[in-house]
Structure 1
Amino acid sequence: MDFDTPAAHVQDADLDGYVEYEIDVEKVLRQELPGVVDSAAIAPLTLDAIAALPAKAKGAYVLFEDGHPVYAGKTDTRHGFRSRLAKHHNTIQDRQGLDPARIGFKAVRIMVFSNFDVEAILIKALREKDPTALRWNFSGFGSNDPGHNREAQEPADFDKERPIDIDKLIVSPLQGRLVGVLELLLSLKDQLPYTFRYETDAGANGRPSHHRLGHADHREAAPIQLPDQPFTVRQAVQWALEVLPSGWRATIFPDRVILYREATPYPYAREHLTAE
């Protein structure tokens, strides 16, 4: 006996009363997963909606902008839906030309996951259906910080198309207070949904000290009286620059802000801020 079905294969083992049966799980996923995704409702990509997902659940997911699929991905045991979607939620905040309220998601938990490339299955199916779908998949969206010498590397297409917005008002816990420069920088670093990095003192081994220690110039600068109302990152950085010694400069990249005592001509900088 030797025959194929859409989802299984049976082999004769030449033993009476015994056969071998193997389910073609990948074939089942190719046939059924796109339809399962189609049938699911789109949820808003909010922290509440993400937190409602089962803990450590893994599988495949799709992000949508105005109902149009823009990104397909998968999770694993280490990074379940909550972890991965929370990272994406963070990425879409404070971006020029991107309204987080227009971004949604569908997540499909796959109990028999193994090493099947469900991401590739979804990408193929969704692009065959609509060639304009999943434009974020090959744009650098969702990639990790490039690490060493990152400021000299060309930004991802997603970051160039949807750069961070330093002119968006933020509600700060420091509003209305007289604060030191380091306290203001720490608050921005903790609150902002994108990388904000600043120079620190050199440690005993010559490497930069922890960001919470800051730089001597931060600790010795005159305090800043913050307004009672929300303010922008541009304003906050400018206020810090006004009380820091000369030589400090903020550099704005498509995906991050750095504040260093330097004049490095970064090739992919969008703008620089200095004391007025």
Structure 2
Amino acid sequence: MEAIAAVPELAKGAYVLFENGHPVYAGKTDTRHGFRSRLSRHFRTIQDRIGLDPTTIGFKAVRIMVFSNFDVEAILIDELRRKDSSALRWNFSGFGSNDPGHNREAQEPADFDKERPVDIDRPLDFLPLGSMLGALDLALALKDGLTYLFRYETDLNERGRPKRHTVGHVDFREAAPITLPEQPLTMREALILMLEVLPNEWRATVFPDRVILYREKVTYKYAREYLEFGQG
């Protein structure tokens, strides 16, 4: 993040990500989404992934003042692949793509996410150790602190649509408080603590790129793992 912060604010141009010095992704960015914004997003994507050490990832960025008359990204990709056919394997793999939105759990995950899925067994350093939290407070802390997407069921409004995640579900608000241990929790352990105080109908589902916690027993085609009460 220090290297990203050193890039001029709102600077635009082309960039390359490297893994152990090998180019794995090339892209471009404009003034609206400058280097800082785009690289910070990539920084989060490479955290907490199975088989991916974020300390091996670096970047190079070239500021370009005006490039509206040519496709700098395509030129960069073609040139790097011409020199090395194994370069830029993250391009066109779905790396860094947005949450697909409606019906997202039924959509096939991106190749990048299938190859480097999220790791729910790494200790989390942002939870208040030894404190007592409500289920909703813990869910909010996880949603804000995780580097990957965490979605959970909320109450419905008068139109039958989900309320904001800050409202949560009535089961969260009525659940017994959760006492966190004195040592850092993993996401798996945090989910198990929540499932212990929620009704048995709740289930956590782990996908390659996200985790959801819903009052359901749905089987998803692309789920990697399910967590339920009693598994801990």
TM-score by length of 1: 0.82
Whether 2:109 is the aligned partner of 1:155: answer: yes
Aligned to 2:165: 211
Distance of 1:223 and 1:71 partners within structure 2 = 44
Aligned to 1:56: 10
Alpha-carbon distance, 1:77 to partner? 1.9
Alpha-carbon distance, 1:203 to partner? 1.1
1:1-276 maps to which residues of 2 (within 5 A)?
A: 47-276=1-230
The aligned length equals 230
Contact 2:127 2:184 in 1 (8 A): no
Q: After TM superposition, what 4+ stretches of structure 1 lie above 4 angstroms from structure 2? A: none
Distance of 1:265 and 1:235 partners within structure 2 = 22
Distance of 2:12 and 2:126 partners within structure 1 = 35
Contact 2:148 2:209 in 1 (8 A): yes
* Runs (5+) with no aligned partner, structure 1: 1-46
Alpha-carbon distance, 1:172 to partner? 2.7
Aligned to 1:19: none
Cα deviation, 1:198-253, whole Å, max 9, x if unaligned, reads 00001122110110010000000001110111110000000000110110000000
Other structure's SS at 2:214 match: strand
Distance of 2:79 and 2:129 partners within structure 1 = 49
Residue type at the aligned position of 1:145: D
* Runs (5+) with no aligned partner, structure 2: none
- More strand by proportion, 1 or 2? 1
Distance of 1:214 and 1:59 partners within structure 2 = 41
Alpha-carbon distance, 1:173 to partner? 3.5
Asked which structure has the greater CA Rg, the reply is: 1
After superposition, the Cα gap between the structure-2 partners of 1:218 and 1:115, relative to the gap in structure 1 and judged at 3 Å, is: farther
Q: Which has the higher contact order (CA 8 A, sep 6+)?
A: 2
Distance of 1:214 and 1:80 partners within structure 2 = 34
Contact 2:132 2:179 in 1 (8 A): yes
Distance of 1:142 and 1:239 partners within structure 2 = 30
Cα deviation, 1:31-57, whole Å, max 9, x if unaligned, reads xxxxxxxxxxxxxxxx11111100010
Residue type at the aligned position of 1:170: L
Other structure's SS at 1:231 match: coil
